[in-house]
Amino acid sequence: MNKLKKMSTSDKLLDNYYQGVPTLVTGGASFIGSALVELLVARGAKITVADNLSSGTLDNLQDVRDKICLLKGDLRDPGFAACAARNQQIVFHLAAAHGGRGYIDSHPVECTNNMLLDHIVFDAVTAAGALRIVYASSACVYPTNLQQDTIERILLRETDAGFDRAGRAFADGEYGWAKLMGELQLRAFHRQHGVDGIVARIFTAYGERENETHAVIALVAKALARYDPYPVWGDGTQTRNFTYVGDTVYGLALAGAHLSGFRAINLGTDRHHTINELIEEIFHLLGWHPDRLDYQLDRPVGVKSRASDNTKITRMLNWSPNTGLREGLRRTIQWYRPLATAERLANLESQLTRREVDPELTVTP
């Protein structure tokens, strides 16, 4: 149920780099985190996962559970963070309060708490002697005024967001501001302590193990539930650059292997897809179409247009996404369909904005 398509093991850009390297993945039981853990385990890394299971699950790690060290706890606890950081050389920091637009717009307090989480993690891993931190940032750091035109669609460049020139700090909501401040904190740790700080700005990842707080799985679930009229948040013309999770984690692994100093890179596609295009692909793959679409203009939709300029990452890492939207959706639906029980679909509306934290957060070596 949880298997992802295996990455090629012959790619010389990653061969042997992670072999035997102590590597911490915070948020490693999550949708993206678990896919990254599987990739790094296949490359021979000595993986520690630290997670509070607020969006991830132990099922996501079932194929590698006996090959990793799993620590369950809250990384806002400096003691737990120090335990997780001990003897690690490379840190992939994915832990965060996050979700789709419904979650981040309805949980601004939890999103701003990411700034505390980031600082504690950066401090712990730097004090423990880590050599490199790869920080999972977000396309939400980009100025919203650059993303308001569905006609003249632009590609966002890394230099469009930053701290040193006026007009580049105008992030998307509390979640975006917290991620931008996380980038600023990481730069400060690099400047003061010399740790490599790599910022990976992730654009609209989707795929296996994603939950219903995110748009793609939510829309797939609504189609499997045969909602008719079929609810669509917004008018359907807003665009995103949907990036398959396998491509995303491959880019993260390349960044951890080959980049140094302090730098920011985009991890997304340069193709704008409207929400209408996305749902038509879903209907096509499921062989079903509702009689009517219900465009809900009062629901949160975020910016109108978002896609990635990949010039920098292609030049530096020879990375580009190679999984098209139809193929990525096919794999995602194949994974999700057996999980879409009648009970799960009956409770769909309550899942669109929900994260649950395990009340018993203990360290489990």
Q: Does any domain span residue 298?
A: no
Cα(212)–Cα(228) distance, rounded to whole angstroms? 19
Q: What does the DSSP 8-state code read for residue 220? A: H
The CA radius of gyration of the chain, in Å to the nearest whole number, is: 19
Indicate whether this model's pTM tops 0.95: no
Amino acid (one-letter) located at 239: T
8 A C-beta contact, residue 286 and residue 245: no
- Between CA 208 and CA 242 the distance in angstroms is 13
Residue (of 51, 60, 350, 330) closest to 216 by Cα position:
330
What is the structure's pLDDT at 346?
Answer: 83
SS3 assignment, position 110:
helix
Query: H or E stretch including 81?
Result: helix 78-85
Q: Is residue 223 part of a domain?
A: no
Helix (H/G/I), strand (E/B), else coil: 22: strand
Confirm whether 12 is domain-assigned. Answer: no
Query: Is residue 113 within 8 Å of residue 76, measured between CB atoms?
Result: yes
Residue 274, strand partner residues: 239
Q: Is residue 222 part of a domain?
A: no
Cα 365 off chain centre by:
25
Residue 351 lies in a domain: no
Here the tokens at position 115 are 């700034």
Give the domain extent around 120.
22-207+242-271+306-323
Q: Within a domain: residue 85?
A: yes
The answer to whether position 229 is within a domain reads no
Per-position DSSP letters for 159-196, written without gaps between them: GGS-SSSTTS---SHHHHHHHHHHHHHHHHHHHHH--E
Query: In a 10 Å sphere around its CB, with 0-12 CB exposed, 13-18 middle and 19+ buried, how is residue 6 labelled?
Result: exposed
Cα separations (Å) of 58 from 41, 52, 157, 244, 277?
A: 16, 10, 36, 22, 33
Q: Which helix (DSSP H) or strand (DSSP E) does residue 226 occupy?
A: none
- Write the DSSP assignment of 276-301 as a string of letters: HHHHHHHHHHHT---S-EEEETTS--
Is 295 among the domain residues? no
Please name the residues in contact with 281: beta carbons below 8 A apart, sequence gap of 6 or more: 325, 326, 329
pLDDT of residue 151: 83
Cα–Cα distance between 359 and 352 in angstroms, integer?
21
CA distance 278 to 236: 9
* 256 class by beta-carbon count within 10 Å (0-12 exposed, 13-18 middle, 19+ buried): buried
Task: With a cut of 50, list the residues of the chain below it in pLDDT.
Answer: 1-10, 357-365
The 8-class DSSP code of residue 27 comes to T
Report yes or no: 238 and 276 within 8 Å, Cβ to Cβ. Answer: no
CATH of the domain at 27: 3.40.50.720
Token pair 């939510």 is found at: 218
Q: Is the peptide bond preceding residue 229 cis, with omega within 30 degrees of 0?
A: yes
Beta-strand ranges (E) seen in 34-171 are: 46-51, 69-72, 90-93, 132-138
Question: Based on the structure, what is the number of domains in the chain?
Answer: 1
